[in-house]
Amino acid sequence: MVTASAPGKVYCFGEHAVVYGEPAVPCAIERRATVTVERRDDDRLRVESEDLRISGFTVEYDGAGGKAPDVDAPTRLLEAATGYVDAAIEQARDAADAPDVGFDVHVESAIPLGAGLGSSAAVVVATIAAASRALDCELDEREIAERAYRSEHAVQDGEASRADTFCSTMGGAVRVAGDDCRRLGTPDLPFVVGYDGGAGDTGELVAGVRALRDEYDFAADTVAAIGDVVRRGETLIEDANAVASEETVSELGRLMNFNHGLLEALGVSSRSLDEMVWAAREAGAAGAKLTGAGGGGCVVALDASDATETALELTPACEDVFRAELASEGVRYE
């Protein structure tokens, strides 16, 4: 039996634009998915989920693909427990050249599904790490990240970027542009996360941006402008000390505000996300924006004081709020 965990993430800058080769800067946060795997004597998979922010369940099915199990559970949780885990297990089997090994897989997560915090990436990364080690195959971080990307790419019909999986594997702040992935410095930024209790449809939102970009030149220019914001922000993060100065946090916040405005123009924000963003800004946050695909889910703000947390707690659109510490460590064995 092997257990591995991997962190979720917030986007400082760059979601959606990263799909088109522009850079993105996600930061790993100390909210983790933990996956325990144990080899079976057959080729079946048994997947048990205890906490993905809705009621847990257990399913068992063969590992040869086919129809999804008939389970009374929301589609997104079922995808996390079957589609993403299936793809991750297949990558571990491929790495170990062990195509017929079955597993019992137990998933626990403190990352809400579909909320823009990288829940699927964390589950995939932790599953590949645990399952490959259970097959006596030691993968380095770069290979785990690559195989995790392949898993998400397959499940998301080719729309995935490397950003989420690379960040979850490596930890800290990372910069991703196409296939070019590297770690940045890891200043301790004062992240506050607000969650509206919902989730956007990533595939639908990505397709919507693609349609706008294909139809309107100014939408393509908006995507390119997000890339410009990212390039300015990554330089600030790279040059920051372990504890970012007030000046750095202030400028990062302004850039986050720009980024949110551009994402809003592309149609991926929502009333609840905008309500939380403005509550954070009016409370004195240096900046605030949606994080992830949008349409619902989470916003991230920069504020070292308690004011933003208090304001979000009092905001009707906000179901949960928490301070998110930067996770300097990525995937690890527990």
- Active-site amino acid positions: 164
Mention every residue, 6+ apart, whose C-beta is less than 8 A from residue 233.
12, 13, 25, 252, 255, 256
Q: Are 192 and 301 in contact (CB under 8 A)?
A: yes
Rounded distance between C-alpha atoms, residue 225 and residue 17, angstroms: 9
Place of tokens 């019992």: 104
DSSP 69: P
DSSP 18: G
- Which pair of structure tokens corresponds to residue 321? 């709020």
Strand order in the sheet with 287-290: 287-290, 298-302, 191-195, 320-324
Q: How many helices (H) and strands (E) does the chain have?
A: 10, 12
The string of DSSP letters for 141-168 reads HHHHHHHHHHHHHHHTTT---SHHHHHH
**Residue closest to 79 by CA, chosen among 102, 107, 40:** 107
Rounded distance between C-alpha atoms, residue 108 and residue 48, angstroms: 9
Strand order in the sheet with 332-333: 57-62, 44-51, 103-109, 25-39, 2-13, 332-333
Place of tokens 């989920």: 49
**Dihedral, CA atoms, 123, 125, 131, 136, nearest 10 degrees?**
-160
Amino acid at 73: A
Rounded distance between C-alpha atoms, residue 191 and residue 110, angstroms: 17
Q: Are 284 and 262 in contact (CB under 8 A)?
A: no
